[in-house]
Amino acid sequence: MAELGAFALIAAWVLSAYAIVMALAGEAWRQREFVASAEHAAIGVWGFILIAVGALLHALAAHDFAIEYVAHYSSTTLPLAYTVAALWGGQAGSLLFWLLVLTSMSTVVVLQNRQSNRALMPSVVAVLMVVSLFFLSMLVFVTPPFQRLAFVPPEGRDLNPLLQNYWMMIHPPALYIGYVGCAIPFAFAMAALITGRLDDVWIRTTRRWTLLAWFFLSLGNLFGAEWAYTVLGWGGYWAWDPVENAAFMPWLTCTAFLHSVMIQEKKNMLKVWNMVLVILTFALTIFGTFLTRSGVISSVHSFTQSGLGPFFIGFLLATLAVSVALLLWRLPLLRSENTLDSILSREAAFLLNNLVLVGIAFAVFWGTIFPVISEAVRGVKITVGPPFFNRVNAPLGLLLLFLMGVGPLIAWRRASARNLRRNFLLPGLIGLGAGLALVLGGVREFYALLSFSLCAFVMATIVLEFWRGVRARQAMVGEHVGQALVRLVAKNRRRYGGYIIHVGVVMIFVAITGTAAFRQEQQVAVAPGQTLAIGDYTLRFDGVQERDTPHIAYLTAAVAVLRNGRVIDTLHPEKRFYKKPEQPTTEVAFRSTLGGDLYLVLGSYDQATRTATILAYINPLIGFLWWGGIVAALGTVITIWPARVAVPATHTAPAGATDGATVR
Amino acid sequence: MNQRLKFGIGAALLVGAVAYLMYTGVQQTSVYYLTIDEFLARRAALADEGVRVAGRVQHGSVERRMTPRGEELRFRLGDFKGEAQPTDSVPVFFVGVTPDMFRDDGGSDVIVEGTYRDGTLMAQTVMTSCPSKYEAEPASGR
């Protein structure tokens, strides 16, 4: 099976190269057959990747420890689910998984577009296959997944215990799908530049792809935060670690792109800017892979220096050089047909939103590579930690939050005083009222006050928008409130889906503000029966229990949670000692309420005195992070969901449900 | 044109603000990131500075003691020369939760973040950086 896998990779490499040649030749000499052959080859690449993935999965499941990858990342005692997850637990496997996603998407793109998009397809196939060829070259020449060991070890080294967690099952795949998804709009953008067809066909074709990529990038980041929170045991969910930043930066530029394409679709502006964003987003996904795979920047994730770094940086620079050259060549064709009319307009608000997003991305980029820059310039490595990122991004994030309230409701072209009053007077007052209420309630942190006020403002703008839409439907069609709400969203999926995403983002801002401003932390050593106080909880340590299994030994603490002298819960923070490789891990325990989490870590345990160190955190409002993520995901699904095809027109469309100042 | 100018000014202000935030952010939050050799060579100049030092925990130097405010951890941070005794090292003091990957017999590669004061590295955080954490070392390398 392993030989079959290795052969399949070589075959896929050859077919990718063939597809590139045929696609370019077909484009140059207008040979339809050549292009068709390239498209079939692209699907063939997918087939061979499927075989390779199947072979690796088979080797993992069959515990074929003669294969280095299998011996390193699995063992006979590893549960089956994690044995499958080991496919993306190591370097070669994760690159193979990446290719699986890329070629699957390429296949769908080919099947979707080969008839409808004949002009762009040759170049699209060529670009996608260049990316595929690069990753295949890594797998064939640099880090082969089917490498055999000189001897067959009786047992594997097992998957890293930190990865043996259910988030591992979904976090990396989500992130990879997001990363790879960014290649599709990039390929279409490049095709538009190559062919000179710079109308918005490429943007409309890739709209759903971009949203899909964005959706998975968002999920990937969110799952990563959840993983850090539940597994790493330091009480937080985001540490501005280079690897986290690597996933966050393309998300920022992709978010900017999703917003600025609306301006191009509606106003035919920002064509160059959109090209820049799509190039930047794709480059950042490659840069992210480079960061995590090269070891150039130290990270708590601590990947080794694997020798892949130079290849990735080379590919990244080549990609940037070629795409920027194409962009400069086509610059004359990308002139805007419209200009900005007023600074008080939706165009301006969207542009500002874009600048802020790209500004945040740049600050994150700068902070991430600062050690490398400072070493090159001043000869000494200087790092900036979380305080840098928080300092820079807090004001920018709040500006973004403000624009999120303004952007969707301000008028196109030029906002009149009436438009501003109608859409923003009430929400503005609500925001101010919320701020005032918090001041009276004793909140004094400036950023927290500002953030919560802005959250209230944005929520008010959205609720107002929904309420108006529902009222208009009720007046026109006479529906019930619930029915009107559902129909309103269903008939304007893109617009109201977008609003729902914004609601989710506001909730995430609430969580970030709560945890950033009001987090509490306690660390004490306690003997059985002793207590500690945190927030309005009293915690009583009730001792530790030991348990042993062939795979893991457990040390489980019992901590009673008391409020007002009554036991309301018992939590069990845990230490686990994995046996292969020998490594302890921390399992946190928490009690979640809407107001926040009580989060417990068993720090250390002294057998002789039966004393344990307990770390206790109160993370206010953190639940809003996950719920906000779910709401945003729901909004994205609504936005992406295809409109029902060819419904006979029944003419209930309430033109009055949308006022003059809206997107479609 | 006037409106474009206005927008240009707004954008310039925004870019300026980002640049300012980044500049002051770097000024106020940056710490030296040194290997233990670099640190030992210039430690006199680093008194009371925030530093981040990468080194290896010396064998037999680890002491843990349970106190009411948590566990105290003391060890000596030396260079990466493996088993051989390093010529020089610096004592580290830390109160908190010792990371899972920290080995009590020494030999862990760690990154210590803290302040160098009175000849001791007072650590705020101790991070273990095991090269084989997510990615095994190449088999040929051992």
User: What does A120-163 look like in DSSP terms, one character per residue?
Assistant: THHHHHHHHHHHHHHHHHIIIIIS-TTPBPSS--SS-----GGG
Interface test with A, best of B29, B72, B113, B115 (most A CBs within 10 A): B29
Residue A137's pLDDT is 95
**CA-to-CA distance for A425 and A243, rounded, in angstroms?**
42
Q: Considering chain A, what is the average pLDDT of its residues?
A: 88
Residue A334's pLDDT is 84
Residue B70's H or E segment, with its range, is: strand B70-78
Residue A167's pLDDT is 78
Phi-psi sector, A646: left (phi>0), alpha (psi -120 to 50), beta: left
Beta bridge partners of residue A606, listed in sequence order:
A611
**CA-to-CA distance for A380 and A367, rounded, in angstroms?**
15
Q: What is the dihedral of CA A223, A229, A233, A234, to 10 degrees?
A: 130
What does the block give as tokens for A44?
A: 């063939």
pLDDT greater than 50 at residue A85: yes
Calculate what percentage of chain A has a pLDDT beyond 70.
94
Q: Which amino acid is at A196?
A: G
Is the Cβ–Cβ distance between A177 and A270 less than 8 Å? Answer: no
Chain A residues 496-525 with CB within 8 Å of chain B: 523-525
Contact list in B for residue A339 (CB cut-off 8 A) is 4
Distance from CA of A355 to the nearest CA of B (A): 8
- Locate tokens 């040929």: which residue? B140
**CA-to-CA distance for A247 and A49, rounded, in angstroms?**
25
What size, in residues, is chain B? 142
Q: Considering chain B, what is the average pLDDT of its residues?
A: 79
Is the Cβ–Cβ distance between B66 and A611 less than 8 Å? Answer: yes
Strand order in the sheet with A611-620: A520-526, A611-620, A596-606, A589-593
What does the block give as tokens for B138?
A: 């190449």
Of A400, A413, A409, which is closest to residue A347 (Cα–Cα)?
A413
Residue A308's pLDDT is 80
pLDDT greater than 60 at residue A299: no
Contact list in B for residue A613 (CB cut-off 8 A) is 66, 70-71, 97
pLDDT greater than 80 at residue A589: yes
Q: What is the dihedral of CA A313, A318, A320, A322, to 10 degrees?
A: 180
**CA-to-CA distance for A95 and A136, rounded, in angstroms?**
8
Strands B120-128 and B90-95: parallel
Distance from CA of B79 to the nearest CA of A (A): 17
pLDDT in tens, A8-30: 999 999 999 999 999 999 999 98
Contact list in B for residue A304 (CB cut-off 8 A) is 131-132, 134-137
Q: Which of A384, A523, A586 is opposite residue B30, by nearest beta carbon?
A: A384
What does the block give as tokens for A357?
A: 């997003």
Is the Cβ–Cβ distance between A596 and A622 less than 8 Å? Answer: yes
For the four alpha carbons of A237, A176, A509 and A352, in that order, the dihedral sign comes to: positive
**B129–A302 C-beta distance less than 8 A:** yes
- Locate tokens 């392993």: which residue? A2
Q: What is the dihedral of CA A71, A72, A77, A82, to 10 degrees?
A: -120
Phi-psi sector, B107: left (phi>0), alpha (psi -120 to 50), beta: left
Residue B129's pLDDT is 64
CB of A405 less than 8 A from some CB of B: no
**CA-to-CA distance for A391 and A402, rounded, in angstroms?**
18
| Band (B108; pLDDT cuts 50, 70, 90) | confident
Of A346, A330, A356, which is closest to residue A410 (Cα–Cα)?
A346
**CA-to-CA distance for A549 and A545, rounded, in angstroms?**
14
Q: Secondary structure of chain B: what % helix, strand, coil (to 5)?
A: 30, 35, 35
What does the block give as tokens for B86?
A: 């390093």
Average pLDDT over residues B86-111: 82
Tell me the Cα Rg of chain B: 21
What does the block give as tokens for A639?
A: 């936005």
pLDDT greater than 80 at residue B140: no
Positions of E strands within A292-415: 382-384
Q: Supply φ then ψ for residue A279, to 5 degrees.
A: -65, -45
Residue A297's pLDDT is 62
Bigger pLDDT: A236 or A299? A236
Q: Which chain A residue is nearest to residue B96, measuring alpha carbons?
A: A523
For the four alpha carbons of B111, B112, B113 and B117, in that order, the dihedral sign comes to: negative
pLDDT greater than 80 at residue B86: no
